[in-house]
Amino acid sequence: MGKPTGFMEFDRIDDGKRPALERVGDFDEFLVQIGDDKLQTQGARCMDCGVPFCHTGELIGRLATGCPVNNLIPEWNHLVYQGKWREALDRLHLTNNFPEFTGRVCPAPCEGSCVLGINEPPVTIKSIERTIVDRGFENGWVVPRIPETRSGKTVAVIGSGPAGLAAADMLNQDGHEVTVFERDDRIGGLLMYGIPNMKLDKDIVQRRLDLLAAEGIVFKTGVNVGETITAEELKSSFDAVMICVGATKPRDLKIPGRSLNGIHFAMDFLRGSTSSLLSQTDAPISAEGKNVVVIGGGDTGTDCIGTSIRQGCKSMVNLEIVTRPPDARAASNPWPQWPLIFRTDYGHAEAAAKFGQDPRQFSMETVEFIGDNDWNLTGLKITEVDWTAERAGTAPFSRVEGSERVIEADLVFLALGFLGPDPIIAEGFGLETDARENILANTKDYETSQPGVFAAGDCRRGQSLVVWAIREGRQAAEVCSKYLNSSVKTC
């Protein structure tokens, strides 16, 4: 714990944010870190709670509770309060390969399970985590760790997102020769192209990638497994294969008018925006001067809102088919589950500042895309839905009679989640998949239906959080390393 009475003496102080109308003028990170002295008192709020649910990393009622990577949160909160930042960094790296990523983009299920959060604002765990690792880099404490010995075993990691990088890091530290294959032109996967720069600066990502390369990991870009190189070639060239390709197949909205110009999947838009930012070229899909509608919520929907505003959109509407969440926990959503409550994310706040109102419209179904004679999108036909009455045989809601209307739109982004991984990987390796087309592998050994081929992250569990991907990458690396070591010949 920090200070025995800290939780009674100090109020929660969140990280600041640059003013909304200022930050939408660039793609720089929007968070403003509070001072170290204030952060130390935030660490002092950590209680002697007995059973720290913040780092349990379990599922209760199919909702996350605590930190999936089992961060030693009370320990490094205590060290931060004492000003022992170097020791706090060591504790943090024991369980999390990339705290600079999770400290920026994780929704912080740890805070949702904080014991103090039962009746008070929880400890600011996420901001403390980020500050610890950023301070570590600033002071030169984070340096390459070169393995002293090598096993002589080789591993191919397919995919360089958070799961692939975590697996590669762990396997490399165990002394194996690791090569990471990425089909994009840059390493990082979701971290590089899926999360906008204002949430996760790409220099932060590259800083860690440079460190991993200095530690001995080999990165190869522009390699599309199944096309550039076959599964058989990888299996014959490496002692083990780790598949961490994510869940990249987007969910579509197949309604009348879907083929009109101006309707795009969210990730195509976000990827193009980041790519143009890195290469200093024009974005392939631009929201400048457009009436934009984002269909779907979550982080991806919010990122589309924030990116569109930065590109200079004319207006912004965000349609969500679900009902508006409650302001406080419902009785069916008790602590320590993740609180399913109404939140205003950075993109919503920016839209409100720019256009005068929150862009979200809840309980809305899009029933048709409308276009002109040149097949260009001009609007959406939408209707309100009632979740208290099912639509016989088709949906768990019904349409509200007389609520149908048309809204103007030049550009639509579909942020409806993902269905699973690109099937080319499973087909190439001859792997079994589950009913959702995810690669079949359990969390005991992460081994697929093919010996020596492992799978982790979203391609195995389905669309999830960066922190869950890191957890799976770490755990899969552990069993993969045991597999490799068991085949090492001894004298």
Q: What is the pLDDT of residues 344-400, one digit of tens each?
A: 999 999 999 999 999 999 999 999 999 999 999 999 999 999 999 887 777 899 999
Say yes or no: 167 and 304 in one domain: no
pLDDT tens, residue by residue, 274-324:
999 999 999 999 999 999 999 999 999 999 999 999 999 999 999 999 999
CB-count exposure of residue 393 (10 Å: 0-12, 13-18, 19+):
exposed
Using the predicted structure, report yes or no on whether residue 404 has a pLDDT greater than 90.
yes
What pLDDT does 370 receive? 98
Say yes or no: 117 and 36 in one domain: yes
Question: Which residue carries 């790519």 as its tokens?
Answer: 275
Q: At what angle do helices 125-138 and 73-81 cross, to 10 degrees?
A: 60
What is the DSSP code (8-state) at residue 437?
A: S
Mean pLDDT of all residues belonging to the chain: 95
What pLDDT does 391 receive? 79
- Is position 124 within any domain? yes
CB-count exposure of residue 373 (10 Å: 0-12, 13-18, 19+):
exposed
Query: What is the CATH number for 391?
Result: 3.50.50.60
| SS3 at position 178 | strand
* Phi, psi of 360, rounded to the nearest 5 degrees: -80, 135
* Phi, psi of 366, rounded to the nearest 5 degrees: -85, 125
Q: How large is the average pLDDT for residues 398-414?
A: 97
Using the predicted structure, report yes or no on whether residue 120 has a pLDDT greater than 90.
yes
Alpha-helix runs per DSSP H in 215-342: 231-237, 266-279, 298-311
Q: What percent of the chain has pLDDT over 70?
A: 99
Question: Which residue carries 């207006």 as its tokens?
Answer: 315
- Is position 347 within any domain? yes
pLDDT tens, residue by residue, 203-251:
999 999 999 999 999 999 999 999 999 999 999 999 999 999 999 999 9
Specify whether the CB–CB gap between 216 and 327 falls below 8 A: no
- Is position 434 within any domain? yes
Tell me the torsion sign for CA atoms 338, 340, 344, 346.
positive
- Is position 345 within any domain? yes
Say yes or no: 306 and 237 in one domain: no
CA dist 25 and 309 (Å) reads 9
Specify whether the CB–CB gap between 290 and 410 falls below 8 A: yes
Given pLDDT bands bounded at 50, 70 and 90, which one contains residue 490? very low
What does the block give as tokens for 464? Answer: 């999830």
Is the bond leading into 336 cis (omega within 30 degrees of zero)?
Answer: yes
- Find residue 433's DSSP bridge partners: 439
CA dist 164 and 243 (Å) reads 7
What pLDDT does 58 receive? 86
Q: How large is the average pLDDT for residues 24-42?
A: 92
Say yes or no: 99 and 166 in one domain: no
H-run or E-run covering 453: strand 453-455
Alpha-helix runs per DSSP H in 229-375: 231-237, 266-279, 298-311, 346-355
What does the block give as tokens for 454? Answer: 């492992």
- Is position 147 within any domain? no
* Phi, psi of 145, rounded to the nearest 5 degrees: -110, 100
Say yes or no: 197 and 331 in one domain: no
pLDDT tens, residue by residue, 127-167:
999 999 999 999 999 999 999 999 999 999 999 999 999 99
CA dist 322 and 319 (Å) reads 9
Using the predicted structure, report yes or no on whether residue 21 has a pLDDT greater than 70.
yes
H-run or E-run covering 41: helix 36-44
Specify whether the CB–CB gap between 247 and 458 falls below 8 A: yes
Say yes or no: 269 and 397 in one domain: yes
- Of 112, 138, 164, the one marking the end of a domain is 138
- Is position 464 within any domain? yes
Given pLDDT bands bounded at 50, 70 and 90, which one contains residue 13? very high
Query: What is the CATH number for 29?
Result: 1.10.1060.10
Say yes or no: 26 and 123 in one domain: yes
- Is position 145 within any domain? no
Among 102, 76, 78, smallest CA distance to 91 is for 76
Using the predicted structure, report yes or no on whether residue 491 has a pLDDT greater than 60.
no
Q: How large is the average pLDDT for residues 113-122?
A: 95
* Phi, psi of 51, rounded to the nearest 5 degrees: -120, 100
How many beta carbons lie within 10 A of that of residue 327, not counting itself?
8
Termini Cα distance of the chain: 49
pLDDT tens, residue by residue, 186-202:
999 999 999 999 999 99
Say yes or no: 401 and 455 in one domain: no
CA dist 186 and 192 (Å) reads 8
pLDDT tens, residue by residue, 67-82:
999 999 999 999 999 9
Say yes or no: 262 and 398 in one domain: yes
* Phi, psi of 56, rounded to the nearest 5 degrees: -75, -40
What pLDDT does 424 receive? 95
What's this model's pTM, rounded to 2 decimal places?
A: 0.95
Residue numbers of the domain that contains 47: 6-138
- Indicate the number of domains in the chain: 3
Say yes or no: 349 and 327 in one domain: yes
CB-count exposure of residue 253 (10 Å: 0-12, 13-18, 19+):
middle
What pLDDT does 1 receive? 65
- CB under 8 Å to 288, separation ≥6 — which residues? 311, 312, 313
Say yes or no: 227 and 132 in one domain: no
- Is position 1 within any domain? no
What pLDDT does 24 receive? 98
* Phi, psi of 169, rounded to the nearest 5 degrees: -60, -50
| SS3 at position 82 | coil
What does the block give as tokens for 362? Answer: 């809840």
